[in-house]
Amino acid sequence: MSTKRKIYSADFKSKLILKVLEGEKTLNEIASQYEILPVNLRNWKKQFLENMSLAFDKSIVVKEYKKEIEILQKDKDDLAKKVGNLTIEKDFLEGKLESLVSSKNRKSMIDSKLPISLNKQCKLLNISKSSLYYQPIKKFSSEGELELLNAINDIAKGKL
């Protein structure tokens, strides 16, 4: 059976780190007393010592986060602009394609080797997928075949 992973609050972690920093008990003794792994306590202590200056100067952190947010917002705006331009270009080209190329020619543009699905290609070319699989009925090559079919139709209708 697996054990459920424990999640410790920031208050609990800071309380233990203060006990470690007081030095009355060793790190291993404190870890044993609270039934946690010593490695966790070491990691929490390291994290605390690396970030303890933040308790006295929060403005640095706020500035860093504001800069990061501004950069991410700018990147998001640039990407949204790019997507908008590509959408406009795609719509323009689809319109031109429809007006310039007949349905039969558009069907010949489908390529199953492309990384785009057949459904997507059909949608982009504005043709139905079922038209890819349609096989036209064979035209009769001779008058004799046509006469034979007409005779069969007459027999079926009871004309003869």
Express each pLDDT in 67-101 by its tens digit: 999 999 999 999 999 999 999 998 888 777 777 77
State residue 81's pLDDT score: 96
CA 49 from centroid of its chain's CA atoms: 39
Statement: the pTM of the whole predicted model exceeds 0.75: no
Res 33: pLDDT:
92
Ramachandran region of residue 40, left (φ > 0), alpha (ψ -120 to 50) or beta?
Answer: alpha
With 90 as the cut, is the pLDDT of residue 106 above it? no
Distance CA 59, CA 83 (A): 36
For the chain, the structural domain boundaries read 8-56, 57-100, 102-136
| pLDDT given at position 140 | 62
User: What mean pLDDT is predicted for residues 6-13?
Assistant: 89
Rounded to whole angstroms, how far apart are CA atoms 35 and 55? 28
CA angle 147, 152, 156 (to 5 degrees): 145
